[in-house]
């Protein structure tokens, strides 16, 4: 059990040495707000990506949306792994004087949420992981996306229609192009393409963490390949009280495709 002095020292270290993330705090409209919720986006995303969840959840909870390092308006760093990203989020909680929170993360953000349980289990009330497993994935999954992003930059394209046309030479799924272009403004990407490419092995990878005994909800899209039956052993080894809920006819962006169903699952869990 950590003493109060140790917790204060830990919070001080986080606030002074972790990255100062850009964030948005949506305060609950109710007078009896429940445990705050932190929403963490995935790779190539930003704090707006889980806005469809925030708009509903803020009816009963204060909701913190954030930009992870090398994304959105948060600072850039050549160091990018799940330990440092988890420390960044914990430092934000310390800045906001939040002692305990519910953490919801999608894809890469889900791995950040899981990593937080290893660093500060006493600060996490519940964890909800959206369409990602605590495993290392094949490291070339996003090669075509990186090629498209770099091509747009190298050709000096400024306008989204032209960028979309070029990206179709690399990416066949229009939904992915549409998602990426949300972060294309005035001819620049709102994430650091070079750093993300250099650090991709860390992003796709995973270092097993100590067992976390509390319940964790994993939400997966039926049509997505990110949580497979073969991953169940890795999930339960690190989260023995894991519960996996499958959303039918949904892909990796399950929270955007089936928002009402995802919200219903979240509310049942919390």
Burial zone of 99 (CB within 10 Å; 0-12 exposed, 13-18 middle, 19+ buried): middle
| DSSP one-letter code for 44 | T
Burial tier of 247 (Cβ tally within 10 Å: 0-12, 13-18, 19+):
buried
Q: CB–CB of 128/267 below 8 Å?
A: no
What are the beta bridge partners of residue 63? 26, 37
Q: How far apart are CA 141 and CA 198, in angstroms?
A: 14
Q: What is the DSSP letter of 29?
A: S
Task: State both tokens at 222.
Answer: 């039926």
Residues β-bridged to residue 25: 64
Catalytic residue among 41, 61, 252, 255: 252
Q: What is the largest CA-CA distance in the chain?
A: 57
107 is catalytic: yes
Residues found in the chain: 270
Catalytic residue among 107, 142, 183, 255: 107
Q: Name the nearest CA neighbour of 90 among 4, 18, 2.
A: 18
Catalytic residues: 107, 252
């Amino acid at each position: 059990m950590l003493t109060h002095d140790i917790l204060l020292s830990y919070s001080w270290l986080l606030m002074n040495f972790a990255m100062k993330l850009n964030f948005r705090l949506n305060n609950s409209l109710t007078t009896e707000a429940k445990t705050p919720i932190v929403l963490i986006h995935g790779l190539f995303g930003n704090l707006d990506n889980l806005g469809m969840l925030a708009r509903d959840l803020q009816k009963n909870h204060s909701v913190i949306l954030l930009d992870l390092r090398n994304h959105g308006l948060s600072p850039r760093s050549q160091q990018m792994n799940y330990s440092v990203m988890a420390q960044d989020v914990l430092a934000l909680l310390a800045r906001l004087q939040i002692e305990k929170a519910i953490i919801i993360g999608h894809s890469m953000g889900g791995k950040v949420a899981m990593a937080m349980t290893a660093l500060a289990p006493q600060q996490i009330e519940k964890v909800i992981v959206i369409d990602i497993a605590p495993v290392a994935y094949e490291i070339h999954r996003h090669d075509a996306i990186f090629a498209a992003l770099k091509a747009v930059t190298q050709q000096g394209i400024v306008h989204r229609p032209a960028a979309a046309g070029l990206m179709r030479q690399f990416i066949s799924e229009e939904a992915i192009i549409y998602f990426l272009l949300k972060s294309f403004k005035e001819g620049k990407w709102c994430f650091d393409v070079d750093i993300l490419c250099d650090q991709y092995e860390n992003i796709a990878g995973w270092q097993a963490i100590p067992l976390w005994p509390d319940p964790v909800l994993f939400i997966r899209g039926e049509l997505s390949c990110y949580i497979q039956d073969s991953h169940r052993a890795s999930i339960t080894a690190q989260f023995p009280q894991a519960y996996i809920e499958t959303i039918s006819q949904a892909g990796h962006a399950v929270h955007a495709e089936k928002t009402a169903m995802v919200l219903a699952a979240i509310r049942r869990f919390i």
